[in-house]
Structure 1
Amino acid sequence: MPRPLVVIIDISALQHNLAEARRRLPAATTWAVVKANAYGHGLERGMRAFGAADGLALIEPEAAVALRELGWQKPILLLEGCFDLSDFRLAAQHKFEVTIHCPQQIGWLEKTRFDVPVNVHLKMNSGMNRLGFMPQDFSAAYRRLRANAQVGSIALMTHFANADAADNPGLPLAEQVRRFELGSAGLDAPWNISNSAATLMHADMRSHQVRPGIMLYGGTPGAHKTSPAGAFGLRSAMTLQSELIGIQQIHPGDAVGYGSRFIADAPMTIGVVACGYADGYPRHAPTGTPVLVDGVRTRLVGNISMDMMTVDLTAIPTAHHGSCVTLWGDGLPIDEVAEAAGTIGYELMCAIAPRVRVTER
């Protein structure tokens, strides 16, 4: 039989979460973000689940082509745009919309000839300091694009660093909005500015197009790691589930795992779970990280091994070989596990290894 570790993807939860994004901003065009293999949920599953979206958005041109080959006929947006001149030809061939964030991309666009114009999303660096034109250069970039007959529609884009914590002193959300408004003043084009955090927490913000990502998968962004996704009306779409494959009775002073970093101070029952860092579970998850055994909450103890981990069964006397172990998902929010491990839910979703079986429900 196969190893008992499995990822269960709930398609109905993905559909529900998209509906929640659309409910919050019903007049906006909704781009469902499916980058990184739909945040680890599978590109084809994401395509099926998000059929009600106005379009799909991602960064990988090859994955965008795969979406067309899988039958997606609605718009596709490349969030980082084209990486070289040939990508523009690919975009025109498959009718991709592309982000423009630097002068080099405008230059490539000007050197390329298409049968039909390409729709673009002009990106401003409003303070995150990753991609985009500075506010003072934004209008000139827009005019350069608008003068190019190869360009179809133009939308105006930026990305928020702290929409989940609007008063962040490093870069308040209001300051990014102010810079965007200033740099785009007088430009007659729709705004594409709301990510998951803005969609969940600032639904009154002016945004003609929205790009929900993590919220579609039942996670919450940034500073809201500890807030249950259910508080925002979201449902968990990924459950990582395994079984107990061994049980040990240990005594005070006995150590558990590599490095012997966990030492029992009383008699304990230790369960061995078929899941380790080679499966994508974070190796740095400390003792105390929550898990569920047969639906009962307990904790991880000791270091994570490549293929196994150990959990405390002392308070679960009914646990047995084959007991179900939920590592995140149903009954255990992924954001809570991520916080305990010092990371974010996004990383856990995306880190699932190829050897882990995936099923749907």
Structure 2
Amino acid sequence: MRPAWADIHLGALRHNLEVIRARAGSKRVLAILKANAYGHGLTRIAQELGDVDAIGVARVDEALQLRNAGVTRPIVLLEGFFDAKQIPVLAVSHIQPVLHTKHQVGQLLSIQDLPEPMRVWLKVDTGMHRLGLNPEDAERVYKTLEAAPQVAARPVLMSHFACADEPQHGQNQRQIALFESIKATLPDVTTSFANSAALFAGLAPDDDWVRPGLALYGISPFAQETGRDLDLRAVMNLQASIISVRKIRAGESVGYGAAWTASKDTWIGIVAIGYGDGYPRLAPNGTPVWINGKVYPIVGRVAMDMVTVDLGDTMSAKLGDTAQLWGPDLPVEQVAEKVGTIPYELLCNVARRVNLDYLET
């Protein structure tokens, strides 16, 4: 028996990349590995994706972790640098920052003794209203960077959809129109707009770069669909052992706060995973768990190290059996819907104490 662990299926990861490449055609692929590769293990996933065109992370320490592990692929720093002191480190490490404010641009251009010119990306806000230059500043700043001795080659122009997971949302076409108007002022500019949702929805067909994140890990970015519907395979199989089985009588309650009471005599199983492992504490009664080919409901409150599962009156599961919390047989999209969150959160919250076992399948 084991406490919580996750099998990481590298064959599924490779399959998903093939599906993405088929969708992307000749476009280059920037694989998004931020937040510990969405809980799958940053370094190992980066090493497995050795043939992608570049890797995207959010923080400087993530980028340096990959360099220290011997990853030589281009790395794009999606939030850029937070301090001018980081710029020389990025330059010598060949890490490409995304510049999304005039303040960052000014900091870069103020450095006269940069060890070597840097490749950079320039982000423009087309409607997300989170990060990015104002559209009216894009042409001027782009051309300034293009001519700057601190910058190697032309910047990549990028933006980000706010509603790509709802392909028919009017915001998408407004953002596309604005991005196209900016591109028209910059002949031969290289661009990147499409995340997983935009790629599978076909929202940015003229992109030079696509930026898949969620789809790499076998998850659908669309509501009411799972990765299976997009020919994707779940990479993570989050599991834990049943460490106790007991029978309770009708009227008896389970767990903290006596939050669930049995309506009839039933068997319950205690599974060795909890919110200390990143499983959502607020998972309600009825959240599915997959055991031996059958779905069982969680009952009672999620504890730090344990969840309780109603095994029914015939007890078809037993001590030592393995429970799948999400994975190939129980899509994480279904668990997220029951919990009232999104798959991103469930994956990214998997705790460091959960062992990751990498399998070639």
With normalisation by structure 1, the TM-score equals 0.95
Judged with a 3 Å threshold, the aligned counterparts in structure 2 of structure 1 residues 24 and 315 are, in CA distance, closer, same or farther, namely: farther
Tell me what 1:258 maps to: 256
Q: In structure 2, what is the Cα distance between the partners aligned to 1:315 and 1:21?
A: 45
Quick one: which amino acid aligns to residue 96 of structure 2? E
Q: What residue in structure 2 maps to residue 301 of structure 1?
A: 299
Q: Structure 1 vs Structure 2: percent identity of aligned residues?
A: 39
Give, in whole Å, the separation in 2 of the partners of 1:7 and 1:82: 32
Question: Who is 2:162 aligned against?
Answer: 161
1:266 aligned partner, one-letter code: K
Report what 1:132 is aligned to: 132
Is 1:92 matched with 2:102? no
Does the aligned pair in 1 maintain the 2:2–2:241 contact within 8 Å?
A: no
Letter in 2 for 1:243: S
Deviation, 1:245, is 1.1
Deviation at residue 315 of structure 1 after TM alignment: 6.0
Change (3 A) 1:157 1:204: closer
Which sections of structure 2, spanning at least 5 residues, go unmatched? none
Q: How far apart are 1:127 and its partner, in Å?
A: 0.9
In structure 1, the residue matched to 2:52 is 53
* Aligned with 1:235 (options 217, 229, 233): 233
What is the rounded CA distance, in whole Å, between the counterparts of 2:73 and 2:41 in structure 1?
19
Distance in 2 (alpha carbons) for counterparts of 1:137 and 1:96 = 25
* 8 A Cα contact 1:135 1:184, kept in partner: no
Q: Secondary structure at the match of 2:155?
A: strand
1:21-75 CA deviation, whole Å, 9 max, x = no partner? 1111121111111111111111121112211201111011122122122222221
The residue that corresponds to 1:338 in the other structure is: 336
1: CA distance between counterparts of 2:165 and 2:43?
29
Give SS of 1:246's match.
Answer: strand
Q: What displacement does 1:353 show?
A: 1.3
Q: 2:17 aligned with 1:18, yes or no?
A: yes
Deviation at 1:204, TM superposition (A): 6.1
In structure 1, how many angstroms separate the alpha carbons of the residues matched to 2:45 and 2:324?
23
CA distance in 2, matches of 1:108, 1:228: 43
| Superposed CA RMSD | 1.5
Alpha-carbon separation, structure 2, partners of 1:227 and 1:40: 21
Q: How does 1:312-327 map to 2 (within 5 A)?
A: 312-314=310-312, 317-327=315-325
In 2, are the aligned partners of 1:295 and 1:326 still within 8 Å (CA)? Answer: no
Match for 2:75: what amino acid? I
Cα distance in 2 between the residues matched to 1:315 and 1:199:
47
User: What SS does the aligned partner of 1:130 have?
Assistant: coil
* Aligned equivalent of 1:123: 123
Contact kept in structure 2, 1:225 and 1:336, CA below 8 Å? no
CA distance in 2, matches of 1:156, 1:28: 15
Q: Residue deviations 1:163-199, cap 9 Å, x none? A: 1102336xx2111111212233221311111101111
Alignment length, in residue pairs? 356
Q: Which residue of 1 aligns with 2:327?
A: 329
Within 2, Cα distance between the matches of 1:316 and 1:27?
55
Corresponding residue number in structure 1 for 2:191 = 191
Distance 1:134 1:66 in 2: 32
Contact 2:167 2:198 in 1 (8 A): no
C-alpha distance in structure 1 between counterparts of 2:335 and 2:58, whole Å: 27
* 1:173 paired residue number: 172
User: 1:339, CA displacement in angstroms?
Assistant: 1.1
Alpha-carbon shift at residue 247 of structure 1 (Å):
1.5
Matches within 5 A, 1:275-294: 275-294=273-292
Q: Give the distance between the partners of 2:262 and 2:169, measured in 1 at CA.
A: 42
Determine the C-alpha separation between the residues in 1 that align with 2:18 and 2:121: 24
Q: CA deviation at 1:322?
A: 0.7
1:86-143 deviation line (CA, Å, top 9, x unaligned): 2211121011111110011111111123243211111011111110011122112212
Moved more, 146-155 or 99-108: 146-155
